[in-house]
Structure 1
Amino acid sequence: MSKPLYKKIIDDLLNAIETGQLPENAQLPTEKELSQTYNVSRITSKRALTELESQGLIYRIQGKGSYVQKQKAKKKKVSRILFLIPFVNDLSLGNFNEGLAPITSEHHYEVIMSSAEFLINKQAADIIEDFDGMIYYAHNTEDFLDTLFELSIQQFPVIILDKKIHDLPYPTVQSDNFSGGAMATNYLAAQGHQRIAYIFGEPTLPQSVRQRYLGYIHATKEQHLSFHTALTDKQAFVDADVMAYLNENAITGVVCENDLVAISLMNQAKRANIDIPIQLSVIGFDNIQAASLIDPALTTIAQDFKGMGKLAGTMLIEWIENHVIPADQQVPVKQIIRNSTKEN
């Protein structure tokens, strides 16, 4: 079926506009001139010009003719990544953005950082509309499961930090928490400590903390130590009667769930006139800024937050741009030896 004649006129005029033959504010041929050129009626040529005007491509001045409209610059869609963490001012969280920012900047992505509460009043469709992908630090694996599940159905790219959400097909970037728990325990054992406790922060154990605890248990068995903390030990919590627990069990070394728990324990020990590290060696986990500032400075297991941020950003951009779903990645930890530990 041949193209209607008014369409041919439109296409030819559009081509002249796009190639610059008819620049901005240039006058177009009149209805009469178009009728003669294309051997069509004035009705046909008028229809072509009317349609171009309705599309905002030309404007008309009565008594003078039709002119090429100045085209508005097309707004380039900004590529954006949503980065959600549990609490924006949480001191226990490392600076993932130090590794994330350079990689997103290099690939021209804008990062919007917010707390996970951002999702409370958002539908999956809103996230898909406003963002190209998301990095989500999971505080609890049950939080916002409905929204995350809907995003997964829509194949929206999401990288999970810190924990594996087994109900969802999303790849995870997390520290090797098991090795970290074992590393801390093996170090204390090498220092001559035989009775090493594990101190928790809260009764509900996040996945990452469980892995650290299991690493601790593995090392106590491997080192044939005479004591280990059981999950049923109600006093093995920093907010319980933890000093009595350490005293009753003749504990000389402690592996803590994280640095905040370790710092709290050290403060309690000072109030109880327990000398650190002479009477009690303490190891934390995370290497937050406060770990190096407390007296004595805290020996800890450092997570590579910068490396995790960079890796998560790289994986997400690869997924967005090449439609390749990445595999789970585990990032090594390392021990930072300071003054809160010594030979027993």
Structure 2
Amino acid sequence: MTIAKAVNSGLRRAMEDDPKVLVMGEDVGKLGGVFRVTDGLQKDFGEDRVIDTPLAESGIVGTAIGLALRGFRPVAEIQFDGFIYPAYDQIVSQLAKMGYRSAGSVRLPVVIRVPYGGGIGAVEHHSESPEAYFAHTAGLRVVTCSTPADAYWMIQDAIASDDPVMFFEPKRRYWDKGDVDVDGGSDRAPLHQARVVRPGSQVTVAAYGPMVKTALQAAEAAAQEGKDVEVIDLRSLSPLDVDAVEESVRRTGRLVTVHEAPVFLGLGAELAARVTERCFYSLEAPVLRVGGFHIPYPPSRVEEEYLPDLDRVLDAVDRSLAF
């Protein structure tokens, strides 16, 4: 199934298993969402559980917080990544802080789904990558899927969490297809565990979300030149599974981090610092970072110049191996 269908199926299964699970957001009901990720849910579960909200992101998240306080497990959709900022105060000041403020006696099991990233030819505020803002905020769990299998299982694990979870969905990969073991769960991994998606011995490339596919393509191209690249899908951005990356880097001696968000103060910087601290004597080269430029997301006609691609990842691999 596609990633979009996998998220839909994961939401459906969570709603079937727990009547306290609600889906809410702009156009999630009758329309099924702008990407049709929630298609058919309102028809099957009713307007009381799949709720079309006003166009007010702060109100959507604030209402979700109130519902969670009353025992529900709301899944709130932010229609596009760049629309999340009106809800930023609710997320970082209320949602993230309630557990700490109440010494753990009040939990807010809220999931906020955020389609993010570029590559779809969209207009301003529709192609951003704001994940670092939320990974920086203590009290929030931040995860992102890159395959249909992860989309299906991770959305269910996020809903089952008693902590608030920011669930970032790579929108340009919504139509990528893959196998999903919906019954046995043989493809299921713990929510906050990174995964080696391509073994290698010379360079570790750590990526997440939309960039995992790009990293795998770069690894395949590198293999044709005799270079053996290991690719890690981080999956969880907060908490960050540094142990998995450390284990890989101690074998390869090199690390390249890849993400679509700007390199400046991105997740790659945190990972680079952690790995340098832990693996200083194992590193054969400095940790290199590949990502977007430190500019507002550009118009769609030139977004391909902005987005990290196979060539930019390959260039970083080559530079790492040159040391």
- Using structure 1 for the length normalisation, give the TM-score: 0.29
Look at both structures and tell me which one has the larger radius of gyration over its CA atoms: 1
Could you state the TM-score of these two structures normalised by the residue count of structure 2?
0.31
